[in-house]
């Protein structure tokens, strides 16, 4: 092997060893499995929202006894409802939180069985819900699904499905 190639190989090995130590690959930290390292949260800008803006559930009323499918109507004052990927002052799209607490407000709203995204600017939805007590809460978010600063959330509405 030529001396320049040997030097290159040795340099790469040294850099790799340093990187492994920085990534937790040394025996001193019990192996440092990647799964043991908590994921870093994204630092995302949060759009501003007018201080007098509010969102709310128009229908069903808090305490209502309903049958499935349940029509949910969203309301907004001093905030515009837009589609996702649109970035205008005092605007965003609705997310309905079903039977769950508010998500981390500095991060994009999750998309799962408890967090419904209304990316097309919808102002109502129809949900198939099993019998029992359910909670509904709205959260407006910007074009990237990140809640505003301050976050625009509705009061929690509790309903009973027969």
Domain ranges of the chain: 3-36, 54-161
- Report the distance separating Cα 47 and Cα 36, nearest Å: 33
pLDDT tens digits for range 130-146: 999 999 999 999 999 99
What CATH number labels 54-161?
A: 2.60.40.10
DSSP code of residue 28: G
Tell me the whole-structure pTM to 2 decimals.
0.73
Output the pLDDT for position 14: 42
Output the pLDDT for position 39: 59
- Report the distance separating Cα 102 and Cα 155, nearest Å: 11
H/E segment holding residue 21: helix 3-22
* Collapsed DSSP state (helix, strand, coil) of residue 59: strand
Given a contact cutoff of 8 angstroms between Cβ atoms, the answer to whether 105 and 68 are in contact is no
- Report the distance separating Cα 40 and Cα 7, nearest Å: 36
> What is the band of 162 on the pLDDT scale with cuts at 50, 70, 90?
very high
Output the pLDDT for position 72: 98
Q: Phi then psi for 27, rounded to 5 degrees? A: -70, -20
For residues 20, 21, 23 and 29, what is the CA-based torsion angle, rounded to 10 degrees?
120
**Residue 149: is its pLDDT beyond 80?**
yes
């Amino acid at each position: 092997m030529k001396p320049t190639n040997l030097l290159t190989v040795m340099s790469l090995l040294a850099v790799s060893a340093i990187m492994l130590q920085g990534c937790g690959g040394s025996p001193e930290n019990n192996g440092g499995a990647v799964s043991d390292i908590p994921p870093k949260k994204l630092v995302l800008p949060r759009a501003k929202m007018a201080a007098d803006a509010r969102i709310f559930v128009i229908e069903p009323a808090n305490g209502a006894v309903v049958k499935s499918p349940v029509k949910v109507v969203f309301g907004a004052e001093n905030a515009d409802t837009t589609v996702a990927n649109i970035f205008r002052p005092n605007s965003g799209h609705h997310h309905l939180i079903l039977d769950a607490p508010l998500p981390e407000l500095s991060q994009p709203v999750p998309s799962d069985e408890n967090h419904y995204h209304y990316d097309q600017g919808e102002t109502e939805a129809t949900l198939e819900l099993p019998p029992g007590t359910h909670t509904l809460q709205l959260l407006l978010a910007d074009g990237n699904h990140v809640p505003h600063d301050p976050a625009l959330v509705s009061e929690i509405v509790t309903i009973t499905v027969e």
